[in-house]
């Protein structure tokens, strides 16, 4: 028996299983050469332009790049998904709280959404109309990026007038009765420490409203945290990858 006959046969090397991210890359790598992936380009640009105009006067707002939203759409659905044709940003799908938060009027969505779109965005249209799904998705993203505060805002009739203190009055009680705020009464009457019946106070019409006080930086990292909510650990990585392909490829021509 020769020495060579004693050598055991070699076994084929086992392939490392492909990760979910690598499988996703396989599909997304074909996107730049496939016009189907550009189907929502013009709608995305129009919606982003609408939000940019509406929010441009708010403190610290930086123009939103529509390419970033296109990357989100590629990650959220993509042209190979059936959802692509109805809910490209996936807002309003079963179990997603984003749509309810945005439409509730309790979290600042009413300040983000342009007035012209408010009647068009309903639960039904967000779930079935791609344009409104984009409006809601982008609006929700911006709501989550905005920093809100409650502030005293003067009403249209902002003349200063006199109010006579009645027995049992407090500044809070007077503010409520006069359609003003405690903060404003204190500002207009800094010398008043103790109220006495018959005393005259300065007053002005105002109310407390939620306002946009500033903005968080919008990046692939903050989008992953505040839009995706950590549901996909690769979300930020996918956005970066999709964005790199989008910026190298061609976009739809929009009039």
Three-state secondary structure call for residue 18: coil
| DSSP string for residues in 96-109 | --HHHHHHSSSSSH
**Cα–Cα distance for residue pair 59/188, rounded to 1 Å:** 26
pTM value? 0.83
In this structure, what DSSP letter does residue 14 have? P
- Provide the residue ranges of all domains of the chain, joining segments of one domain with +: 25-147+216-248, 159-204
pLDDT of residue 252: 82
Architecture of domain 159-204: Roll (3.10)
Count other C-beta atoms under 10 Å from residue 8's C-beta: 5
pLDDT in tens, 169-224: 999 999 999 999 999 999 999 999 899 999 999 999 999 999 999 999 999 999 99
pLDDT in tens, 16-60: 777 889 899 998 999 998 999 999 999 999 999 999 999 999 999
């Amino acid at each position: 028996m020769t020495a060579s006959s004693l050598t055991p046969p070699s076994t084929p090397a086992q392939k490392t299983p492909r990760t979910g991210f690598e499988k996703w890359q396989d599909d997304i790598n074909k996107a730049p050469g496939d016009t189907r992936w550009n189907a929502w380009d013009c709608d995305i640009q129009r919606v982003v332009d609408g939000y940019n105009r509406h929010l441009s006067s708010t403190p610290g707002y930086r123009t939103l790049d529509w390419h970033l939203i296109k990357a989100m759409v590629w990650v959220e659905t993509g042209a190979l998904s059936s959802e692509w044709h109805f809910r490209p940003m996936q807002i309003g799908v079963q179990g997603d709280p984003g749509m309810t938060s945005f439409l509730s009027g309790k979290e600042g969505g009413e300040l983000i959404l342009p007035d012209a779109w408010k009647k068009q965005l309903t639960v039904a249209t967000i779930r079935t109309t791609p344009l409104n799904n984009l409006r809601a998705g982008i609006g929700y993203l911006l709501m989550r990026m905005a920093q809100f505060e409650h502030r005293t805002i003067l009403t249209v009739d902002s003349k200063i007038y006199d109010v006579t203190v009645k027995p049992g009055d407090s500044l809070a009680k007077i503010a409520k009765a006069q359609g003003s705020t405690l903060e404003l009464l204190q500002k207009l009457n800094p010398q008043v420490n103790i109220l006495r019946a018959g005393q005259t106070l300065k007053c002005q019409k105002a109310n407390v409203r939620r306002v946009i006080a500033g903005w968080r930086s919008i990046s692939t990292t903050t989008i992953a945290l505040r839009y995706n909510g950590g549901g996909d650990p690769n979300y930020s990585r996918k956005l970066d990858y999709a964005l790199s392909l989008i910026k190298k490829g061609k976009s739809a021509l929009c009039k």
